Copies of this chain bind each other. A is one copy, B any other.
Amino acid sequence: MLLDAEGFRALGDPVRVRIVQFLLDQGGVCCANPGLVCACDIVALLGLAQPTVSHHMQILTRAGLVLAEKRGRWMFYALAPRRFEELGGQLGAIAAPLVAA
């Protein structure tokens, strides 16, 4: 498969795009740990219910775009840059031969 539909689908929702952008901004200071982003921060940011956020985080982690780590009662999230590179590379591989021609 040249293009990973699951990965792109995960990025095809405005709410999840906001989550990715928030993770990229490092989320400032987490409610519990500075420099890390926990689920509660994302709930606070989005104004969506906690189960809704939990659902979106599962989609992002299953797609490999976000890494999740449980510490105590908190779930900390971080972007998986390799995965973004991979998907970006798939798009580049489509474009490259056509732009060259």
Contacts and interface: CB of A to CB of B under 8 A. Distances in A.
Interface stretch (A1-9, A36-44, A50-58, A68-76): A1-9
A24 B98 CA distance: 9
Contacts of A87: 88, 91
Contact of A99 (B2, B82, B91): B82
Contacts of A92: 84-85, 88, 92
Interface in A8-63: 8-14, 16-17, 20-21, 24
Contacts of A21: 2-3
A91 B13 CA distance: 15
Shortest beta-carbon contacts, A-B, top 6: A9-B12, A88-B91, A81-B98, A8-B11, A84-B95, A81-B95
